[in-house]
Structure 1
Amino acid sequence: MDDTTTLDAEAGVSHAEPDTKNGHSLHSKALKRLETVPDIKRDTSGITTQYIATGIVNLGAFATGACVAWSSTALPLLLEATPGEHADFQPLNGTHPKVSLTRAQGSWVASLLCLGALFGAVPAGLISEYFGRKKTLLYLALPLLVSWILVASSPNVYGLFVGRFVGGVAVGAFSVGVPPYVEDIAEKHLLPALANFYHVLFACGLLFGYIIGMVQIISWLSVLCASVPIAFFIAFIFLPESPAYLMSQGKFSEAKAALRYFRGIDNDVDEELKTIKESLRNYAKHRMTFKQLFTTRATVKALVVSFGLMIFQQMSGIYPVLFYSEIIFSTFANPLYAPEATYIPSIILGFCLVSSTYFSTMFFKRIRRRVLLLTSFSAMASSLGGLAIYYQLIASNLSSNKTWVPVFALCIFVSVYAAGAGPIPWLMLREIFPPNVRRKATAITAGFHWFLAFGVTKLYQNLEELVKPGWALWNFAFTCIIGTIFVYFFVPETKGRTLEEIQNELEGIHKRRAHRHVIQVETVAVSSS
């Protein structure tokens, strides 16, 4: 029995057609496809290939950031001519239609992206297991492109609603589908750096969305954003499928060719293929259902930790800041920009987010997770509290609004978020869950994340109208303080610890010192004899 048949029997995978159909024609075609990018093919160590491939697949994260930033740049244009309680239809420059929105409709346009992401995140992991990591991610470019076409050409507000929801489905699927592909192609010593690409490219997508806000035309904003999924599709189609997925499907020769592509011609991949085969065998043997996630004490506690971190991450107000940045800055009437250039503070905000996200990898290598989380939530609470005090001073005519305080406070807020509260909850999913439950736990947590993002983004404007912007900021600051307390008492340290040690802590098992009392008794007994 060959390696392919053995793997199929052990992993429980059945195939209607063997891998050797038509001789070795399928294998030769696969090998030829892998030679379509000559510059990467010459990479002897595989490191450059892994970095380039990770950058290409994370264009999905870039597209996600552009979707979020679109609300900040587009909503001021859609809301500025609203005549009353209902949306109407007005011409823009005599040729292009423009939809005017109420504030309530604007909040739906922003938040429906997150609601769509909820419906995309939960099934994405299961779909990729059946259809392949590459095929699933590749086809996500289609709904994203359709969403931008709807947004650019819609004659009424309902087209905007549908377009944002459809785009959100792709956004949620990207958030769940991209990390496993990167984990499958990356070497262990490169994985921490490559895993952070998602957050870096997401921040770059936000900055891109804020920069193109200078166009100030809704249709052109959508066209520029639509170029991202097109670029993703063209670049990603040349990369091979995940070696682990190919192995799970019994395609041993294609899996070996794909792994050799990512490791370079100087590396022997046979040992790594055996490791992948063993991990697939263990995964098939110990696979758990969604129901079984809630039957083990350690897994339940891990879910509590991951859900809690997502709650305080989202309730800190990060998505309202990113979705409504131009509106928030205009609330403070900041004079650092001209009235016709309201996008400048948002661009500054995006640049701070990109730079802090890029350098956060150095913090992950040197500083413990709990320290970063505690510092991040505390600093976020301080910056939001300072901004709330500033707003209340302005409302009481005790301070002039001609200062740099709003830009500085929100730049500190997004910077410390990017160094801790943003990426660490996602990073800890790989560290606190065993491999056999990790993907299901990630899908549930991602769905919960997008549900919270939808709720906070939708209700932010209602909260602002109910208690005014100053008290809304105080609410977010108080949530960050509670998040600091939650991290201190409930979140375990994971840096430099094995999965077994973390699981033992979650189970409540504490290893005693190596039976010191027994050794002492034996020593006494020997000496007395």
Structure 2
Amino acid sequence: MDTERKMSTPLLSSVGDEASSVPTRILILTTLVAVFGSYVFGSAIGYSSPAQSGIMDDLNLDVAEYSLFGSIMTIGAMIGAIVSGSLADYAGRRVAMGFSELCCILGWLAIAFSKVAWWLYVGRLLVGCGMGILSYVVPVYIAEITTKDLRGGFTAIHQLMICFGISLTYLIGAYLNWRLLAVIGTLPCLAQLLSLSFIPESPRWLAKVGRWERSQSTLQRLRGRNADVSQEATEIRDFTETFQQQTEDSIIGLFQLQYLKSLTVGAGLIILQQFGGVNGIYFYASSIFVSAGFSKSIGTIAMVIVQIPMTALGVILMDKSGRRPLLLISASGTCLGCVLASLSFFLEDSHRWTEFSPILALVGVLVYTGSFSLGMGGIPWVIMSEIFPINVKGSAGSFVTFVHWLCSWIVSYAFNFLMTWSSTGTFLIFSSICGFTILFVAKLVPETKGRTLEEVQASLNKISNKEDLNLE
């Protein structure tokens, strides 16, 4: 690329320069295909709660064995996370999604036809591998195909579909055998697998691998036939070329001072999201309600009723109120929910107001679930997909996704043992972590609403203009 062209084209476009932010039909359909993977993610998380009693009875598993089944998925997800960035970078976003769905289909079938515990574990591990890849590639792919004014809401659909997958699995699982529930889990996997050939590849990935003409034609297809994409395409090309020249796409390249804030924000949000207790509550919701003396079926249905509209509200507000306000409200709500649940178990243990403690436990879990769905569930993934430049996006995504699943495994495996130790203490620990999340967001997390990916990445990584990028 010649120097004159680089100098005459601003690296970072103004708000009005980007192509129209009205979503095209192909953009909507492409996003829907991508979030089939998010539904798979949610159904896998939701499976262990309604299936618990049936699996334990049919295969004679004790609490420790079932805890292994519930948590081994996160071990598989860690494996998937390790390869997710490299797979998505070298083979493309669509190939990565297709490979993940093959893992999930094999895993669900192994669970459905298992006769012994080992086959359960193998199946759950395979589903986890697929989830580890999906949890990275779906939000990244959506962020890379959308405009800056639509990116937050469209990427947040990832969390909405996770929530829908959890909720629908809870509802269906209340009436169906655990084996049939596992077979049903293959259907959304097949739906995405068969649809991937009909959607375009990410234009930013195409630019990364040097397919400039195809990148621009794909961008044109996504933005609409009559949209002017020349400035956006040039911006993507300049930014991609410069970052690739500056740093190699590797784990070693990720741990540089210029990426410190991006890494701290991305990994920090994910760690706090998980240590706030979400997977313990989602995986074992039924047992929480039983421990509190409340009907597990009523409690589960109430969770479903709260989750979906709150997640949908978060999608709507994402590009209106911004990421930070939603995160602050969400973290505050999860903190309050854990305090209420802790108080419920304290009253039950001390034999005070025992007639109110089950209702208080339900209210606490619902406040937590609704608040988490509003922001903490989806926004960390949105921000993760926005803050890392293309040259380290694969390694950074793999690292952050690995950290997510490592923390998830710790929480999901330890949760039953923590509840045996002290239900009150468990939720107090979660509430204190949620409280710290409020401080973390207030001090460190930037607002990314209404900014292009290149603008966000340049500001976070201490790069503000073409001179800093050595374009001259």
Q: Does 1:194 align with 2:171?
A: no
Unaligned residue ranges in structure 2 (runs of 5+): 2-21, 464-472
Matched-pair contact (CA < 8 Å) for 1:113–1:165: yes
- TM value normalised by structure 1: 0.76
Q: 1:172 to 1:504 in 2, by over 3 A?
A: same
Aligned to 2:433: 479
Q: 1:154 to 1:473 in 2, by over 3 A?
A: same
- What is the CA–CA distance in structure 2 between the aligned matches of 1:354 and 1:204, rounded to whole Å? 6
1:439-478 per-residue CA deviation (whole Å, 9 max, x = no partner) reads 42222111101100001100111111122x2221122112
Q: CA deviation at 1:257?
A: 4.7
- What is the CA–CA distance in structure 1 between the aligned matches of 2:275 and 2:366, rounded to whole Å? 18
1:283-303 per-residue CA deviation (whole Å, 9 max, x = no partner) reads 32223332132231x422332
Q: 2:306 aligns with which of 323, 335, 352?
A: 352
Q: CA deviation at 1:237?
A: 2.7
Aligned to 1:283: 243
Matched-pair contact (CA < 8 Å) for 1:332–1:391: yes
The code of the aligned residue for 2:415 comes to: Y
Q: 2:274 aligns with which of 294, 314, 319?
A: 314
* 3-state SS in 1 of match to 2:174: helix
Aligned to 2:12: none
Q: CA deviation at 1:271?
A: 4.8
Q: 1:56 aligns with which of 25, 33, 53?
A: 33
Q: Does 1:293 align with 2:272?
A: no
- What is the CA–CA distance in structure 2 between the aligned matches of 1:49 and 1:225, rounded to whole Å? 27
Identity score, percent: 25
Residue range with higher mean Cα deviation, 225-234 or 377-386: 377-386
Q: 1:135 to 1:397 in 2, by over 3 A?
A: same
- TM value normalised by structure 2: 0.85
- What is the CA–CA distance in structure 2 between the aligned matches of 1:364 and 1:264, rounded to whole Å? 24
The code of the aligned residue for 2:34 comes to: V
1:216-268 per-residue CA deviation (whole Å, 9 max, x = no partner) reads 31111111111110111122232233334344445556545533432333335
Matched-pair contact (CA < 8 Å) for 2:338–2:427: yes
What does residue range 33-182 of structure 1 map to in structure 2 within 5 Å?
47-79=24-56, 81=57, 98-182=58-142
* 3-state SS in 2 of match to 1:334: coil
Residue range with higher mean Cα deviation, 489-498 or 479-488: 489-498
Give the structure with higher Rg (CA): 1
Aligned to 1:8: none
- What is the CA–CA distance in structure 2 between the aligned matches of 1:390 and 1:447, rounded to whole Å? 34
- Structure 1 vs Structure 2 CA RMSD: 2.6
Matched-pair contact (CA < 8 Å) for 1:46–1:261: no
1:110-146 per-residue CA deviation (whole Å, 9 max, x = no partner) reads 1111111111012212112221221221222111100
Q: 1:189 to 1:381 in 2, by over 3 A?
A: closer
Q: How many residues align?
A: 438
- What is the CA–CA distance in structure 1 between the aligned matches of 2:149 and 2:448, rounded to whole Å? 17
Q: 1:134 to 1:259 in 2, by over 3 A?
A: same
Q: 1:181 to 1:163 in 2, by over 3 A?
A: same
Q: 1:438 to 1:247 in 2, by over 3 A?
A: closer
1:361-402 per-residue CA deviation (whole Å, 9 max, x = no partner) reads 343334454443333223222221112112221222222346
1:336-360 per-residue CA deviation (whole Å, 9 max, x = no partner) reads xxxxxx4342232133222111111
Aligned to 1:361: 315
What does residue range 170-319 of structure 1 map to in structure 2 within 5 Å?
170-251=130-211, 254-288=214-248, 289-296=250-257, 298-319=258-279
Unaligned residue ranges in structure 1 (runs of 5+): 2-44, 82-97, 336-341, 506-529
Q: 1:305 to 1:239 in 2, by over 3 A?
A: closer
The code of the aligned residue for 2:191 comes to: A
Matched-pair contact (CA < 8 Å) for 2:303–2:366: yes
Aligned to 1:33: none
Q: CA deviation at 1:433?
A: 3.8
Larger RCO (CA under 8 A, 6+ residues apart): 2
